[in-house]
């Protein structure tokens, strides 16, 4: 997956790495989201007609600001549990997820589709043999869908996630590349008031670890130079960037899936994810990674890296961070 990001987001990641050093002296705030980004809308998504809640012929989003916060998806009224600002281990909102899968024939298509359709919370599956793209609509965590594809014996790479709407920035990723802690954190905008978060980590010590979205992407001193927990200037209560705690098992692995209210992915680009040794976050942090823009739906169908000629199926090991977690 990191291979794909190297094609689609090299310029963004480079800018994100240099950006915090320039803004640290000016108390970088959420006002940075006023810069507009526009990306091509996905094509050939006719299979979503069976899910009208994800198709809005008149997106209410503004092109240059987040002045209004209308919902892109018709959602049920929140329950008492859903009213919390942060949730985990519960039902996730529906998203469209795109994979590129190494398929050769109609038998491959049938195998992949049949396997995914048996996975809980998968609503529909579309497989395009010509482009080798598999589109899955549902609320299943990425980890489970990826494992299901691996069980078919075919190579698969995540290439996009989001909903087919005109968000300014719909997805972001933060990759921890070791040498001790490896991991991937993914953000996807569900609507203007809700973001979905999924994370995998390995190399942690067993137990609870605090983690957060921090102000800056300055990694010159690791997590210690990433600033305070992200808190928009207009927020009066607890910092929006506080993600609570991760629980690592005896092998040092941690998996998280949940949603965060009022979190806008566009506000996170150039900031960082920090992990702490203790749950209370009183230490200086043990690892950190910059948050960069990631491909949304229909934005990344490349199979060849133009920088080194590596194909998508050759992007393993160091080029594919998820294989470490």
Question: pLDDT (tens digit, 9 = 90+) per residue, 229-250?
Answer: 999 876 657 899 999 999 999 9
Q: Is 299 helix (H, G, I), strand (E, B) or coil?
A: coil
pTM beyond 0.85: the answer is no
The DSSP string of 195-229 is EEEEEEEESPPSEEEEEEEES----EEEETTS-SB
**236 or 152, higher pLDDT:** 152
Structural domains of the chain, with CATH:
2-35+167-293 (2.60.40.200)
Give CA separation, 58 vs 15, 55, 62, 105, 165, in Å.
Answer: 33, 9, 11, 38, 9
- What's the rounded mean pLDDT across residues 167-177? 86
3-class DSSP state of 281 = coil
pLDDT tens per residue across span 256-307: 999 999 999 999 999 999 999 999 999 999 999 999 998 776 666 665 555 5
Classified as helix, coil or strand, 33 is: helix
Which range in 3-7, 68-72, 108-112, 163-167 is most confidently predicted, on average pLDDT? 108-112
Write the Ramachandran bin of 149: left for phi over 0, alpha for psi from -120 to 50, otherwise beta: alpha
User: Could you read off the pLDDT of 53-91 as tens digits, one per residue?
Assistant: 343 333 332 222 222 333 332 233 333 333 334 445 567
Selected residue with higher pLDDT from 23 and 193: 193
Residue-level pLDDT at 92: 84
The answer to whether residues 236 and 181 touch, using CB atoms and an 8 Å cutoff, is no
What single DSSP character describes residue 304? B
| Contact by Cβ (8 Å): 132, 102 | yes
The enclosing H or E element of 154 equals none
Return the exposure string of 253-289: e unless at least 16 CB atoms fall within 10 Å of the residue's CB, then b.
Answer: bbbbbbbbeebbbbbbbbbbbbbbbeeebeeebbbbb
Task: Please work out, in degrees rounded to the nearest 5, the angle formed at the alpha carbon of residue 144 by the alpha carbons of 138 and 148.
Answer: 100
Contact 161, 297 (CB under 8 A): yes
pLDDT on residue 69: 31
pLDDT reported for residue 235: 61
Average pLDDT (84-107) is 79
| pLDDT over 90 (residue 206) | yes
Helix, strand, or coil here: 16?
helix
Percent of the chain, pLDDT > 90? 54
What phi and psi, each to the nearest 5 degrees, are found at residue 128? -115, 105
């Amino acid at each position: 997956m990191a291979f794909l990001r190297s094609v689609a987001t090299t310029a963004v990641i480079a800018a994100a790495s240099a950006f915090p050093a320039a803004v640290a002296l000016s108390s970088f705030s959420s006002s940075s989201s006023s810069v507009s980004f526009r990306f091509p809308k996905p094509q050939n998504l006719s299979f979503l007609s069976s899910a009208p809640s994800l198709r809005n012929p008149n997106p209410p989003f503004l092109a240059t600001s987040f002045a209004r916060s209308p919902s892109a998806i018709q959602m049920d009224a929140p329950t008492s549990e859903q009213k919390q600002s942060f949730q985990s281990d519960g039902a996730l909102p529906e998203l469209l997820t795109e994979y590129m899968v190494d398929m050769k024939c109609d038998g491959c298509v049938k195998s992949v589709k049949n396997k995914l359709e048996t996975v809980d919370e998968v609503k529909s599956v579309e497989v395009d043999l010509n482009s080798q793209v598999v589109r899955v609509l549902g609320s299943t965590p990425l980890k489970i869908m990826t494992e299901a594809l691996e069980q078919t014996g075919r190579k698969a790479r995540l290439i996009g996630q989001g909903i087919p709407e005109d968000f300014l920035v719909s997805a972001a990723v933060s990759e921890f590349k070791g040498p001790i802690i490896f991991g991937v954190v993914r953000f996807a905008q569900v609507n203007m008031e809700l973001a979905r978060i999924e994370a995998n980590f390995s190399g942690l010590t067993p137990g609870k670890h605090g983690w957060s979205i921090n102000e800056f992407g300055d990694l010159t001193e690791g997590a210690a130079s990433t600033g305070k927990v992200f808190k928009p200037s207009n927020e009066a209560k607890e910092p929006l960037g506080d993600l609570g705690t991760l629980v690592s098992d005896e092998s040092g692995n941690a998996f998280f899936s949940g949603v965060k209210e009022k979190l806008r992915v566009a506000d996170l680009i150039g900031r960082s994810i920090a992990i702490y040794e203790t749950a209370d976050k009183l230490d200086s942090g043990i690892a950190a990674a910059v948050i960069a823009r990631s491909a949304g739906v229909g934005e990344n169908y490349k199979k060849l890296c133009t920088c080194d000629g590596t194909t998508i199926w050759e992007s393993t090991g160091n080029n594919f961070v998820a294989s470490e977690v």
